A = this chain, B = another copy of it.
Amino acid sequence: MRARLERLRPLIAEAALDVLLVAGADNRRYLSGFTGSAGALLVSPDGAWLVADFRYWQQAAAQVADFAIVRMPPMTRLETTLPSLVAEHGWRRIGVEADHLTLEAFDLLTQALAERSATLVKTTGLVDRLRQAKDAEELRRIQAAVDLTDAAMEHAAGILRPGISEADVAWAVEAFMRTHGGQELAFPAIVAFGANSALPHHHPGAYQLRAADPVVIDMGARVDGYCADLTRSFCLAPADSHYADVYAIVLEALRAAERQMHAGLTGQQADAIARSVITEHGYGEFFGHGLGHSLGLAIHEAPALSRLNDLPMPVGAVETVEPGIYLPDWGGIRIEDVVVLEDEGARVLTGSPK
């Protein structure tokens, strides 16, 4: 934790801030270890504070080592506590996280500071950018979440049979992960049979599996705060040639990306590797989402493997690689691994067979 604070401080100095107010819940946990649902961090070049409300006074003290705990008076808001801290420390330029603070929260804080000679300065991505390169402890937790999800996928493959419902499979994999070390799911499991599998984010329902249905299962455990994400596509009956053809294209796109990706590529470049394979086979318009996203404390974080991301990705970025082809009224095929970017390539963390 302390190393993370020390990596943040030069960025705070560079932005000429006296202090940074950290409002994003995952950023709060990343820097401090505090897991409460509310609270704010303040990080200055030589100090660090966690402002906690009554519900979390004890928990904050137990979880947090490198931050002084500021106990917010019961039933007050941050607007009450911040001005006195600002006065006490003489802060003038207070950075706020524009990508995590609502417009309204910003306005309330601005009003609260109106009589102080202090200004709120919008920043974006200071902590989020640090989080892009995972450290060893984070990689260990992600691998644990991935391993558990691999085991749950094996469990799922074992229970698929004609007549089982999407909802039954979704509950079975959730129960498996929860009783084998997962504290919660990283996101609600997607289990989609038949034409439902053409919906990338289908919600599992009562539909019962038929032997020839395309099957998409997309799920992830969360272990010690860190997420996994894994998709496999199946067909119970011997697949017809159309299914086999589409599956082969998606798999080729996945393998091309995994072979060619490395730190230093932009998200755009990574996306293009897989997309060109699918486009060359004539299915480009049926792959309507980006190739992948990063994960960590959040299931979706930066940097994304997307046309919209033209920044180089760092060593230690953990990315999903998840090409898919979705044919309305027929079904979909998506195959998803998780990789970590290294100087020379991409190391695949997921182990489920394809």
Chain A interface residues (CB < 8 Å from chain B): 35-37, 53-56, 58-59, 74-77, 96, 98-104, 106-107, 122, 124, 171, 174-175, 178-179, 184, 188, 198-203, 288-290, 306-308, 328
With A102-B101, A174-B178, A179-B171 as known contacts, state yes or no: A308 contacts B58, CB within 8 Å.
Answer: no
- 9 residue pairs, one from A and one from B, having the closest CB atoms: A54-B288, A74-B288, A98-B103, A55-B200, A98-B104, A99-B104, A75-B307, A55-B201, A58-B199
Cα(A304)–Cα(B308), bound, Å: 40
Residues of B within 8 A of A178 (CB): 171, 174-175
Asked if residues A54 and B99 are in contact (CB atoms below 8 Å), the reply is: no
What is the oligomeric copy number?
2
- CB pair A75–B171 under 8 Å, yes or no, is no
CA distance A59 to B199 in the complex (A): 7
- Give the docked Cα–Cα distance between A201 and B76 (Å): 18
Report chain B residues within 8 Å CB of A289.
53-55, 74-75
Q: A37-B201, A174-B178 are in contact. Are A75 and B306 (CB under 8 A)?
A: yes
Q: Nearest-CB distance from A37 to chain B (Å)?
A: 7
A99 to B103, CA, bound (A): 6
A212 to B340, CA, bound (A): 49
- Chain B residues with CB below 8 A from A102, complex form: 98-103
Q: How far is the CB of A178 from chain B (nearest CB, A)?
A: 6
Residue of A75, A184, A290 with highest tally of chain B CB at under 10 A: A75
In the assembled complex, the CB of A290 is this many whole angstroms from the nearest CB of chain B, namely 6
